Structure 1
């Protein structure tokens, strides 16, 4: 075969059939051929012996914060970080920007803010908050990928939570047009009855967000899905107490999926240093035994995917040293792949597993049919990874707006050598080429 603009030759590539030696032929920004070898084209790129070709990752849980809180993060900085970490598609959450994406005019403001400043492709979630049921279907028609809601205080006043009755009404509305609702599932009453967090002790913060809060909220989501038949996705599962509920829902055939995050798979709550509020997130990082159950649930398929939940803020809000007052979010968009790969390989997983969790499953969750795999017809979004190379995380080398991350000083395995978007390497010094995506586009 010939006539390709670019041929990428990889002795090791992660394809839907597993790890293979392939030539990837690229034409018009799409993968036009994946063959064992012999392809020719205008340009041949041969990967180094220590490199593996992956599809670009799809991160469906990112808080960009622009507009309104651009001092926390912005589209230019966030998407550069994504590109540096092998991520070629991100979906932006409807908060913590101002205005939140809870109606079509707010979506247009968000899209205008992203403009032509994105280094990777970007899509948008809508929000489900009290009083905006009439805006849900218009947002769906405008191309959001689904609707995010909270079952407790979101942390920002302009994005209030739904009650369980409100969640049921949201699901019933979304069921009319096949919409997806994604849920921050922690029970407000359980957390209100727990001891308040304060001071530098992570153990105290952990007591303030007990496992029971997640389990009770997920049980409510399962019941609401059973009643309405609507699709729901449980965000950032941190507690193993949730897993039996998800397992039973899956066995029942309910349309519920769930994700977890790199920080829940990487860190052990018992090892969090006093005052290290960079690791504060909601729900919290839990203990080592809990972590191993999350890994087992990924292997089993009870948890479907891994996303970063990149949720930055200014250093002044994040680095207080007090777990009661610090912002609850982790900056990790650039580090998700090596963080997960570091811990995955220790447990006998291979790169095909990681690609499945961080590219294929995430693309499938939101219907991005041209993303997430090295296969004919997909966008030629690529990640070139040196899986055995190591590095020590230097926050100053990150592209996130602020150099704050709990991975600082940790040695991670897996170096992203280059990231390609639609058939060409991303050059962070060149004008950005990312596109704004809408649900259902090819």
Structure 2
């Protein structure tokens, strides 16, 4: 292209050449051209006559849409010493994520009204290197605030059916759930729920502690799968009664996903999320690694891990997130009482590594399905126009992955504020080489370019 002064002008800002392009439907070798932050061309043939300000030779690499992590806890403002938007978003970029949905409860104050949402959104604009979205909270005190939160851009709402562990984010009792869902349905938003039974878990925990049973296995047995099933049955009935769209987060068993899929067949508008740690870690890891592997719902036995992969193979799980819920190391130290210590996995940097290693390489899980559950489905479910796919006109949120590069995750490789994770020491096969957000390369070969 030549401008009026006779100077050579580049047609595009970026061309990615010779990569294996992965969509939810196919894989083909081709080129992708980017202009003004958008994908301008996706071609199964090379673009030899086109020029760009920057070109990337992706030969030997797979080109995929960036991961959309629908479930993180970045804790800012108020608990930035646990994790912050700067460190959290950089860890996502290093793991191939280009967007995140931040949960409302760990910030102080939590995102339960417009003022608190505005404060968090402003901080994300200043500090995050990837796209940021926010969940609003549903608590007993804020039903009158839900519509305003929706009008100001929350992706949906989050409620806890059991205690959240955060003093200023109350769990929602049945009346709050029903009234909140009735309100949310009026403006066609969605409710995400942490589904565990307060009664079942509290009584089992009390019985365990009173009899001196505080091992890792005792903790897991105090939060059994039936607790999730009871809560999911209840919330499905409220969804059917109110017409509210439902999203069940961090399901830990196929027994739970089966229940939700049965409801879908009856016409309930529901979606299912599981997490990378339920697809690779077990109770044995909790016993061996201690508090760094503690979460709620807890890790299960290998039979449940295999069951979730079966559900994924049958298209019975909609999306996979990290549920990155970090805390300082002194809050994760557990000696002999597993009921003590913060329950949350630091995993935002490793979701795609888990799926490539445990799914693609170990179980022949298709790359197209990995794209679907990490990008396409989240974008579609939550109405993110122009996200989640490598298509012309879509945002240029793109990652380049070496499927065959193996590496051992080391603590010094983590971009978290606190460099601990149950994945440290694991060998993964499949490594993110480059992360591009809105046409800008922000991560390449182990370094965050935004920090230069």
TM-score, normalised to structure 1's length? 0.94
What is aligned with 2:373?
357
1:129 corresponds, among 139, 154, 165, to 139
1:96-147 residue CA offsets vs partner (Å, 9 max, x unmatched): 0100000001111212332311111111110000121000000000111110
SS at match of 2:126: coil
In structure 1, how many angstroms separate the alpha carbons of the residues matched to 2:295 and 2:181?
Answer: 26
In structure 2, how many angstroms separate the alpha carbons of the residues matched to 1:209 and 1:275? Answer: 19
Tell me the TM-score normalised to structure 2 length. Answer: 0.92
Q: Is the CA contact 1:61–1:307 (under 8 Å) kept in the aligned structure 2?
A: yes
Contact 2:24 2:369 in 1 (8 A): no
RMSD: 1.8
**Per-residue deviation at 1:388?**
1.1
For 1:41-440, list aligned pairs within 5 A.
41-43=51-53, 45-196=55-206, 201-274=215-288, 276-321=290-335, 322-345=337-360, 346-427=362-443, 430-431=449-450
Deviation at 1:244, TM superposition (A): 2.5
> Of 23, 26, 33, which residue of structure 1 is paired with 2:41?
33
Out of 79-88 and 194-203, give the one that drifted further: 194-203
Return the alpha-carbon distance in structure 2 between the equivalents of residues 429 and 252 of structure 1. 47
> Once the 2 structures are TM-superposed, how far is the Cα of residue 13 of structure 1 from its aligned partner?
1.2
Mean CA deviation greater in 254-263 or 357-366:
357-366
Please give the alpha-carbon distance, in whole angstroms, between the structure 2 residues aligned to 1:182 and 1:278: 25
> Judging changes above 3 Å, is the alpha-carbon distance between structure 1 residues 344 and 126 closer, same or farther for their aligned structure 2 residues?
same
When residues 157 and 387 of structure 1 are mapped into structure 2, their CA distance, relative to the original with a 3 A threshold, is: same
How far does the alpha carbon of each residue in 1:278-298 deviate from its partner, in whole angstroms, 9 at most, with x for none? 110000110111111111112
Change (3 A) 1:200 1:12: farther
Corresponding residue SS for 2:435: strand
| C-alpha distance in structure 1 between counterparts of 2:366 and 2:91, whole Å | 24
Take 1:273 and 1:192, find their aligned partners in 2: how far apart are those partners? 22
Q: Deviation at 1:46?
A: 4.1
Q: Is the 8 A contact 2:223 2:297 kept in 1?
A: yes
Q: Does 1:5 align with 2:13?
A: yes
For residues 286-341 of structure 1, give each alpha carbon's deviation from its aligned partner in whole angstroms, at most 9, with x where no partner exists.
01111111111122222100000000001010123442111110001111110121
Alpha carbons 1:63, 1:310 under 8 Å: kept:
yes
**In 2, distance between residues paired with 1:5 and 1:429?**
20
Give how far 1:274 is off.
4.0
Larger Rg: 2
- C-alpha deviations, 1:347-402, integer Å up to 9, x for none? 11122111111111112221112111111111111111111111111112100100
User: Which piece of structure 1 moves more, 364-373 or 377-386?
Assistant: 364-373
Q: What is the rounded CA distance, in whole Å, between the counterparts of 1:249 and 1:62 in structure 2? A: 27
Contact 1:246 1:302 in 2 (8 A): no
Deviation at 1:271, TM superposition (A): 4.5
Aligned counterparts of 1:14 and 1:140: Cα–Cα separation in 2: 33
SS across alignment from 2:171: coil
TM-aligned CA distance change 1:431 to 1:9, over 3 Å: closer
Higher relative contact order (CA 8 A, sep 6+): 1
Residues of 2 paired with 1:425 and 1:324: CA distance? 43
Runs of 5+ unmatched residues, structure 1: 434-442
Question: CA offset at residue 44 of structure 1?
Answer: 5.6
The answer (yes or no) to whether the contact 1:93–1:125 under 8 Å persists in 2 is yes
Aligned residue number for residue 437 of structure 1: none
SS of residue in 1 equivalent to 2:155? coil
Q: 1:354 to 1:324 in 2, by over 3 A?
A: same
Q: Is 2:21–2:27's contact at 8 Å kept on the other side of the alignment?
A: yes
Match of 1:436 in 2: none
Structure 2 counterpart SS, 1:195: helix
Evaluate the alpha carbon distance shift between residue 248 and residue 16 of structure 1 in structure 2; reply closer, same or farther with a 3 A threshold: closer
Instruction: Quote the Cα distance in structure 1 between the aligned partners of 2:300 and 2:62.
Output: 32
Q: 1:82 to 1:429 in 2, by over 3 A?
A: closer
Aligned residues between the structures: 433
Q: List per-residue Cα deviations over 1:28-72 (Å, max 9, x = no partner).
A: 110011111232122463434431111111001010001110000
Q: Unmatched 5+ residue regions in structure 2?
A: 2-9
With 149-158 and 264-273 compared, the bigger mean Cα shift is at 264-273
